Amino acid sequence: MQTAVFFHAHPDDEALLTAGTMAMLAAEGHRVVLVVATAGERGLADMPHGDELGAARMNELYASAARLGCARVVRLGYGDSGLGADGGMAEDRPDNAFIDADLEEAAQRLAAILKEETAELLTIYDPAGGYGHPDHVMVHRVGARAAEIAGTPILLEATVNRDPLLKGIRLAARFYPKLDVRAFESAYSAGSDITHRINVRKHAKAKRAAMSAHATQATGGDGDRTLGAMLRIPAPIFRYVFGTEWYVRRGLPPGTRLRHPFDQPS
């Protein structure tokens, strides 16, 4: 048995990017620990921003973690930084906003968990924070430093293969001209940079259950929510579309292709 710590910014992030991997490792008998930086109290939802929303989202996180087989859930205690109208940093963020945290202090908090758990693996996000949310970028920075402090041997950046994503978005832009393709050209990771392609189709049911746990994030706002749309996909198509999870491990030889989080290059 080995221990893997999955570090995320907000409740529901784990369901979207790493849930299949978490369920797979738990099913194999490994110890899976989920750490979130914030309670997501400033996320888009039908509920107003604040402690009530944060409490609801943490309860959803516990339900998601249970469905994935997590052994432990930890919240670092920072405030959700929120998003500005332009998708960047919000000006009215709380005093304890994660993006304003001292990098070294936050990294030490996470490193303490890694040491306590004797973790062999930590997942964070790619340098772009996936689609660029400031809290996600901070997860990358804090997690990378924490792994360095704790001496965690495997550091994986949870990401998405940008290449097929861009193809699909460019095709959609033909029918929806207002769709900003440029916003996705630097999001996530190029296929050539991805070192791990994890087949999680056997755990698609658990991944879908984890997504379903985050009910507050399936509604709210003027348009259709991404999570709500994903949950309406028929099960066979869901298993195909969400059956692979991607990671980048820096420092490996070019062209490395691994199939399991704990695999080592030959």
Asked whether residue 260 is assigned to any structural domain, the reply reads no
What pLDDT shows up at residue 43? Answer: 87
Asked whether residue 26 is assigned to any structural domain, the reply reads yes
Can you tell me the distance from the alpha carbon of 46 to that of 49, in angstroms, rounded to the nearest whole number? 9
Can you tell me the distance from the alpha carbon of 227 to that of 216, in angstroms, rounded to the nearest whole number? 10
pTM equals 0.93
Helix axes 51-68, 19-27, angle to 10 degrees: 40
Asked whether residue 67 is assigned to any structural domain, the reply reads yes
Asked whether residue 266 is assigned to any structural domain, the reply reads no
Per-residue CA distances from 85 to 90, 91, 220 (Å): 8, 10, 16
Asked whether residue 258 is assigned to any structural domain, the reply reads no
**Scanning the structure block, which residue is given the tokens 């993006």?**
99
CATH of the domain at 224: 3.40.50.10320
128 closest CA partner among 92, 157, 97, 95:
157
Asked whether residue 168 is assigned to any structural domain, the reply reads yes
What pLDDT shows up at residue 195? Answer: 97
Asked whether residue 158 is assigned to any structural domain, the reply reads yes
Q: What is the pLDDT along the chain (266 residues), one digit of tens a residue?
A: 999 999 999 999 999 999 999 999 999 999 999 999 999 999 888 888 899 999 999 999 999 999 999 999 999 999 999 887 666 777 788 899 999 999 999 999 999 999 999 999 999 999 999 988 999 999 999 999 999 999 999 999 999 999 988 888 888 888 877 777 887 888 899 999 999 999 999 999 999 999 999 999 888 766 567 888 889 999 999 999 999 999 999 999 989 999 999 999 87
What pLDDT shows up at residue 223? Answer: 59
What pLDDT shows up at residue 169? Answer: 84
Tokens of 216: 């507050």
What pLDDT shows up at residue 179? Answer: 75
The parent domain of residue 91 ranges over 3-248
Asked whether residue 58 is assigned to any structural domain, the reply reads yes
CB burial of 32-50 (b: ≥16 within 10 Å; e: otherwise) equals: bbbbbbbbbbbbbbebebe
CB 11 within 8 A of CB 56: no
Laid out side by side, the sheet with 72-78 consists of 72-78, 31-38, 3-8, 121-125, 154-159, 244-248, 196-199
Q: Please name the residues in contact with 93: beta carbons below 8 A apart, sequence gap of 6 or more.
A: 42, 79, 81, 82, 99, 100
Helix, strand or coil, per DSSP, at residue 241? helix
Q: Per the structure, how many domains does the chain have?
A: 1
